[in-house]
Structure 1
Amino acid sequence: MDAVNRIGIKRRERQRLFVGLCFISPWLIGFLLFQLLPIISSFYYSLTEYNLFEAPQWAGAANYTELITDGKVWQSLYNTLFMAVFGLFPHLAFALGIAMLLNKDVKGKSLYRTIYFLPTLVPTVAATLLWMWLLNAQYGLINELLGMLGLPQPVWLLEPQWTKPALILMGFWGTGTASIMYLAALQDVPRMYYEAAEIDGANAWQKFRHITLPAISPMTLFQVIMGVIGALQMFTQGYVFADGNGQAIGGPENSLLFYAVYLYQTAFSFLRMGYASAMAWVLFVIVFLLTFLVFKTSARWVYYGGER
């Protein structure tokens, strides 16, 4: 009797498994065809010479060896890491400042939050074209304002020393999402912590330093990780900035040649699919290592409920 029951239970388990697989089969098939298969294929192609028109020719580690001596790879890595470091943290600080203002209990705060978030809904290409007009050296609004203040008027998009600062300036436009997420984190901080600190005589800076920052540190960790990953994959802004000014890919003196831009150029302009695949895998390793590093160091500055 027990054996019969066990057989019946196993049959029902198999039926449930089959039904479950049927429900997730659209996702599973999509994952296998459009994610897992391209990942495996790209690794194979990274070990070959492949140009789309001829059969791949085995090259072993030649593509990876060439990466080490390719000056454009190092130039693009420098540009990309520059934006990841000097672009990410000012944007996060600005987003936090805006979130703290939006967290104030003032009349019409919902309207202010909506207005500040709206720019993030503009497609990246459209926003980049708008900022190209704002940063135009001859008639751009930014230089007009600088001229009214008696300040220097840079040639933002044509001089290599100003192209990356121009992109960093443009990045403040898109901090609405980070601000809203910081706002949600700020609203989760218990009010009683601030009240207790006020009783102890803490000033505004002390409350921010010892209550606000630790309380929202998990959100900061999330923002840093997503920001690093996004910065390492920066493509649209650099490509549109250069193309919109009639310049070659990479902009003046390759100052806008980000890693993803060079990868795109290698794959679709030079048709070196094998080399581009190797570049993609190197980018994956860099993203993984930097994300791992952020996670490892987070134990020193991220605090969860009940800690500190």
Structure 2
Amino acid sequence: MKTFDFRRAVSVDDAIRSVVETGGSYLAGGTNLVDLMKNGVLQPSALVDVRRLGLTSVVSTDTGGVRIGAGVTNSALANHPLIRRQYPVLSHAILSGATTQLRNMATVGGNLLQRTRCPYFMQTEFDRCNKRMAGSGCAAFDGFNREHALFGGSEQCVATNPSDMAVALAILDAVVHVQGPDGARSIPIADFFTLPGDAPDRENCLEPAELITAVELPPSAFAAHSWYLKLRDRHSYAFALVSAAVGVELIDGVIVSAAVALGGVAPRPWRVPAAEAALIGRRPEDAVLRRAGEQAMAGARPLSQNAFKVQLGRSAVHRALARALGTGGEARP
């Protein structure tokens, strides 16, 4: 690992100032960043510790939503009474990821900033990865691409976003609050993540030295009918081949609002308006749920090894909706 400077910030302003001065990176839980440093993928000149900034509260907002400090650990968030009561899909998504030990360290802000697990990015032995070395090419196109994107990729990169939490946040219309050298701003989750296009090294819209301070959730109508389903090669500590976060609102037996997002299939959480439209105004019959699954995967562009994920995605959305509505034959968490 390359030698680096270490600073412990005492305030948000101090943290931002330190990153500006050193050109370094923020350190919270470090569950992804430290691994990348050990592998030589990232070599920051400095780490600025932001674990003591007081960004660890989960509180109700005046509008009936919840504001979550960026330093809240994944375990604390998943088990918080406000989240379990008002946003159970978020709790379920977080508990689907990593191990208990990692969730005890990983933070909300860090989860949003974790990097792709594409092996060509994670291992410096590979010399073709546009994320690490601009212009070197994307080895996944003609190499191992079983786990890669069906949507949103480009000729420069077809890696997927690994976050479970972010997929749930996508259907909850979360807002990410950040602060940087030019002040504070609020970013809708739909605008936070970027597609690779011609700049695959950039995965979100944060400007240099901007720090995530909180994530805010508006009131949700999906508390009674939501689900997160993660399909993977093994039951624990594996990233999603495909995941689905769904939420529906029922009035008099009719779906009046719905949200569907996919994970494991794109460089960002993949919200699917066509699947939502297939649900709204209809009764939750099995044929309607299956149609939503079909719409969720419309336009998929499989690579040489991941066409199986198309059917997996259809099934994931159908099953998640069935469970959210209590028709899937399995107990809710």
Give the TM-score range, shorter chain.
under 0.3
Structure whose residues are more often helix by fraction: 1
- TM-score, with length taken from structure 1: 0.23
Q: Which has the larger radius of gyration?
A: 1
Structure whose residues are more often strand by fraction: 2
- TM-score, with length taken from structure 2: 0.22
Higher relative contact order (CA 8 A, sep 6+): 1
